[in-house]
Copies of this chain bind each other. A is one copy, B any other.
Amino acid sequence: MATIKDVAKLAGVSIATVSNVLNGGRYVSPELRSAVLQAVRTLGYVPNGVAQSLRSRKTQTLGLIVPDITNPFFSGLVQALEGSARDRGYQMLLCNSEENAELEFDLALALASRQVDGLIVIPTQDSPEYLRKLKADGLPVVLLDRIGGEDDLDRVGVDNFQAARVGTEFLIRQGHRKILLLVSTLELSNIRDRAEGYRQALAAAGIPYDPELVIECGKDASSLEAVLEAIQQQQPTAIFASTNRLSLLAIQAIRRLKLKFPEEISLLGFDDFEWSTLLEPYLTAVVQPIEALGFQACQILLERLKGDTSPPRRVLLPCDLAVRQSVQRR
């Protein structure tokens, strides 16, 4: 690989002149300028980004830690983030934390040591301590999607409470009073918010809250059993799956019990994605503005990079309700 020295030698100038031509630093006479350009072309010179980074203390690289790229919600976010970042001249160092807090921590340190300019994290736990340390050390950090915790870090997410409330209200308006709520885990505050939205919607409608109706599904296969049992015992007329994967679980349960869908049991999902069109009738769901989430996170991070030191922001985007056919009037 040709270096700036090679170019300088070939063009018969100093390396400073080459640099000035390439970066438009100072005035360079037309003759030398064209000589440099010519040399650059014949050598196929491309500046070494690593050296530039060392010198400028900027890598033009953002670290991104995601719990599971395979989930279409997250891969949608990654796409949005990558696009926004690229538009502004940044590249993305992508890491998969596999929902593992320890791994996430290691990954973040590794990214920091690679001198990423900023970090976007979809954490596995609310508000991890180590991120605050990294931020204190001067690394801008933006939390995405899972935004529980104090206002000590920039956070971009969705108004989960409101979204779940609107979704539940919709179910209630459709005549449902016994609504099974499926949650992945109540450890995550955004899921807790969804549960709270559900609860308050019920309360506002004067429907008593029954804890037996909310099922924490975790990750193990036993969760299907739990859902089956709950459906049989509680005989809900609707299921609110508060996560895209949980829609899958709900569908499995409904099919296993040979319930008529959506006549006997309605389903409201969270998150919309291409493949949900495979479901018939088509899934009614609360949909998050994925594109906007990614854009906002990137935006805030880049402003921090530019030196914005205003107090940490918390951006809450609203969700939409996509009404299709999987929820039936009662």
- Which residues of A are in contact with B by a Cβ distance under 8 Å? 1, 44, 46-51, 53-54, 59, 61, 68-70, 72, 75-76, 78-79, 82-83, 86, 91-96, 107, 109-115, 137-138, 245, 247-248, 251-252, 255, 273-280
Tally of this chain's copies: 2
Closest residue of chain B to A63 (Cβ to Cβ) is: B91
Contact B277 A50 (CB under 8 A): no
Chain B's nearest CB lies how many Å from the CB of A12? 25
Chain B residues, Cβ within 8 Å of A111: 91
Contact B274 A248 (CB under 8 A): yes
Provide the bound-state CA to CA distance between A72 and B244, in Å: 14
- What would 22 A/B residue contacts be, using CB atoms closer than 8 Å? A48-B113, A50-B50, A50-B54, A50-B114, A50-B115, A54-B54, A61-B114, A69-B69, A69-B78, A69-B82, A78-B94, A82-B94, A86-B95, A91-B95, A92-B94, A93-B93, A93-B94, A94-B94, A247-B278, A278-B279, A279-B279, A280-B280
Provide the bound-state CA to CA distance between A44 and B137, in Å: 10
Chain B residues, Cβ within 8 Å of A113: 46-49
- Residue of B50, B83, B94, B110 near A59 (CB, 8 A) is B50
Contact A110 B137 (CB under 8 A): no
Chain B's nearest CB lies how many Å from the CB of A234? 24
Contact A75 B69 (CB under 8 A): yes
